[in-house]
Structure 1
Amino acid sequence: MKQDLTIGLICPGGGIKNPEIEMAKYAPADIKLLTRQIPLAKIDPQVLSDFGDMADDAAKDLAAQGADLVVFNCTSGSFIRGLGYDLEIIRRLEKATGLPAITTTTAVVAALKSVGGTHLTMVTPYPDSVNEVEIRFLEESGFHLVSSKGLGIVQMNLVAKVPFDQLYALVRDTDRPQSNCIFISCAGLRVLDYIRGLESDFQKSVITSNQATLWMALRTLGRSDRLIPGSLFDH
C-alpha cells in the first residue's frame, strides 16, 4: 500500500515556483509536491483563457511522475471564463489522467463556504479587467462582495515580488465592517506565513488561494490535517 501521497501542481510559469514553496512549508511530511509550469506572461483575460487550454499535457506529465491528485493551481486561470469553468477544467484533467483533480477556484469557493464567508472583502494583484470577472464569478457562486481592490499588476513575474507590507495596507484600506471574511486572491502572492496575524488583526476569517488549495487537496485525498495557516484548517 502506498504510504506517501503526491500532489501535482499545474502553475503559471515565470521561474518562481511560489505555490510549491508556500505549500511545502506547511504540508504534512508525508505529502510530496510536484510542479509543472505553463508559460504565462500577462494577467489578461484572453491570455488566461488560453493558459487553461494548455493544462492537459502538464497534467499527463504529473500523472506519469506519480501524482495522486492533479491541481490546476491558478486562481484567475480557473475562473476567467465564468461560472462553471473551474468544473470544466476538472472534468478535462480527470479524463486526461484518470486521477482526481481540483482547481484553485474550486478550492476557494469550498473554503469560503466552510468558514461561513458570505460577505467578502477581496484583494488581488490583478488589473480591473480580471477583477471584474472574479467579482461576477463569486457573486454568481452565492457570495456578496462588500469591497474589492486590485493592485493593477499585468506582468505575472511581478506578483511574487509584492511585499507583505503592501498587501497588508491593501487589506486594511479595502476591508469594511460589513464583511465577515477576507479573501486574498492569487496563487502567486506570498501570504501563507501571515494568515494567522491577519485573522487576529481583522478579527475575521482569511482565505488565500494557496491555503485553500492545500486544504482542499488534502481533503480530496481523504486527509483532515489541522495545519498552521489559518482557521480554515479547523474545518
Structure 2
Amino acid sequence: MKLPFILDQGMASQAAFGVIVLQADETLEAEFAGLFDRPGLALYHTRIPSGAEVTAETLADMERELPRAVSLLPTAGPLDVVAYACTSGATVIGPANVADAIQSIHSTASTTDPLSAVIAACRHLGIKRLGVVSPYVAEVCTAMNSLLEQNGLTIAAFGSFEQSEEALVARITPQSVHDAVCAVGRNGDVDAIFAACTNLRTFGIIDRAEATIDKPVITSNQALAWHMLTLANATTKGVGPGMLFDGSP
C-alpha cells in the first residue's frame, strides 16, 4: 500500500546554516546546540581534517580541504550562512580566501568565521580597545592580533596559555578560562575581552566573568553563532550568553 504524505519546507523554514568544524574540535557543537534549536532554523555540520598541533603550517594546510568539506553540507536547498569554525585557521588562511572556498560550492551563502565574527561583534558593541586571551603559540597569536589591529582594533592587553596541542586546549577547564579572562580584563585600558579558539569551553563562564570585570566578554563560539544568526536576520536577543546577545535585535 502506498501511503499519502504532505510536503513542507523542512527544518529550515526560516534559515539554513552550515558550519565547518575542525576534526580536532570537541567543544563547538555542544556550545552551539541550544542557540540554533528553534523552530524554523536548521544547523548542519561538516568536519574538515585538521592537525593535532596548531601551527601556521597545519592551519594553512586546511585551505585545500575547505571546498571538499563544504561540499558535504546538504545541497537540497540553499544555505543562508556557512561558517568556517576555526579562529586560528581563518587568521592564517585569511577570511577572504575562506569565503571564496565556501562560495565555490554554496555561491549564494553568506560566509563568516570567528575572526570576522569577532570584528563584527566589536563594531556592534562599539569596542575599540581589546584584551585578548588565547591558547595559541606565539606565531599564531602574533598573526591573529595583527589581523585584529588591521581591522581597527587596538590590542591593549594580551595573555596566552601557549599551547599547540588541540586535545589539551579542549581540556583547559572553564575555571581556568574564567580566571584568565578576569586577569586580562582587569586592565583598565581594555573595553572588552576576546577569548579566542572554538575549542575553549567558554559558554559557562561568560556571564560570570562579565559580572566580575564589568566589561563585555566575547568568545569565538559566541561571536560566531551571533554573527551567523545576524547574517540570516534571525533573532539573537537573549538567545546566548553575554552582553553581545543582550542588546541585539
- If the length of structure 2 is used for normalisation, what is the TM-score? 0.86
Counterpart position of 2:243: 231
Alignment of 1:195-214 (within 5 A): 195-214=206-225
For residue 228 of structure 1, give the secondary structure of its aligned residue in structure 2: coil
Counterpart Cα distance in 2 of 1:210 and 1:122: 15
Q: Distance in 1 between matches of 2:55 and 2:14?
A: 37
Give the match for residue 187 of structure 1.
Answer: 198
- Taking the aligned partners of 1:144 and 1:24, their CA distance within structure 2 comes to 32
How far apart, CA to CA, are the structure 2 residues paired with 1:210 and 1:25? 12
**Equivalence for 1:132:** 142
The C-alpha deviation readout for 1:24-43, integer Å capped at 9, x for no partner, is: 12334133322222222111
Determine helix, strand or coil for the equivalent of 1:59: helix
Give the secondary structure class of the aligned counterpart of 1:42.
Answer: coil
Is 1:14 the counterpart of 2:24 in the alignment?
yes
SS at match of 1:142: coil
1:165-222 superposed Cα distances (whole Å, 9 cap, x missing partner):
1112222332311101110011111111221111111101111111111111111112
Which consecutive segments of 4 or more residues in structure 1 shift more than 4 A? none
CA distance in 2, matches of 1:3, 1:32: 8
CA distance in 2, matches of 1:99, 1:190: 32
- One-letter amino acid of the structure 1 residue matched with residue 104 of structure 2: K
Bigger fraction of residues in helix:
1
Q: What letter is aligned with 1:92?
A: A
Question: CA RMSD for the aligned pairs?
Answer: 1.8
User: Any conservation in 2 of the 1:6–1:69 contact (CA below 8 Å)?
Assistant: yes
CA contact (8 A) 2:184 2:193 kept: no
1:69·1:221 contact (CA, 8 Å) conserved in 2? yes
Does 2:91 match 1:79?
yes
Q: How does 1:6-45 map to 2 (within 5 A)?
A: 6-14=16-24, 16=26, 18-30=27-39, 31-40=41-50, 41-45=52-56
What TM-score, normalized to structure 1? 0.91
Unaligned 5+ segments in structure 2 are: 1-8
**Higher Rg of the two aligned structures:** 2
8 A contact 2:133–2:194 mirrored in 1: yes
Q: Which residue of 1 aligns with 2:124?
A: 114
Is residue 2:63 matched to residue 1:52? yes
Identical-residue share of aligned pairs (%): 25
| Corresponding residue SS for 1:89 | helix
